[in-house]
Amino acid sequence: MPSALVLIADGTEEMEFTITYDTLVRAGVVVQSAFVPESGGGSETPVSPPAAKGSRGIRILPDLYFETANSGPDKFDAIIIPGGAKGAETLSSSSEVQVLVREYIEKKKLVGMICAGSLAALTSGLPKQPLTSHPSVKSTLESEFDYSEDPVVVSGNLVTSRGPGTAFPFALKLVELLCGPEKRKEVHAPMVFPAGTPW
């Protein structure tokens, strides 16, 4: 059964986190969320993670604290980095997260980034390739990557997307890549998207 780790920090965009997490669970993916503090995580791990305060003030209780030893590509098939300006800054500036991004890419595991979470592609030193992001960080990324304004961009095992409005196609693409196109169809149907929705 596929597994995924969804990172979260104070300031993470709630829709990008919850829609991705929920959609993966619907597909039978074993999902865990890990709280990354502003310091980027570290050796001293408290017993229980605090509730992360999202970009709109909604509090979300993560499953566990982020620890690199328990977050690698030997433990999960995918790592997901949501956006939200403050949350994305915390996640993309974490040296531990950057190391993991490179490890997942090297091990051919999925790396998902949405919205400003795509900044982690830059801070992790990923090579120039197709990528998208929230328009607010386009200027930071477009000279270093083959920037696209498509809702979801797949480049090898890197999957990027644009923002809250593209969270569903982003999550469904992750389901397809982790579980196959038939599982994507199975998950998609009961969500009852309006007729003509392009995903």
CB 144 within 8 A of CB 119: no
By DSSP bridging, strand 130-131 and strand 146-147 are parallel
> What angle do helix axes 14-26 and 167-179 make, rounded to 10 degrees?
30
Asked whether the CA dihedral 94, 38, 157, 166 is positive or negative, the reply is negative
Q: Where are the beta strands (DSSP E) in 16-145?
A: 30-35, 52-53, 59-60, 64-65, 78-81, 110-114, 130-131
Distance between CA atoms of residues 164 and 55, nearest Å:
12
Please list the residues that pair with 112 across neighbouring strands.
Answer: 80, 159
Closest CA to 168 of 36, 27, 69: 27
Q: Which residues are catalytic?
A: 16, 115, 134
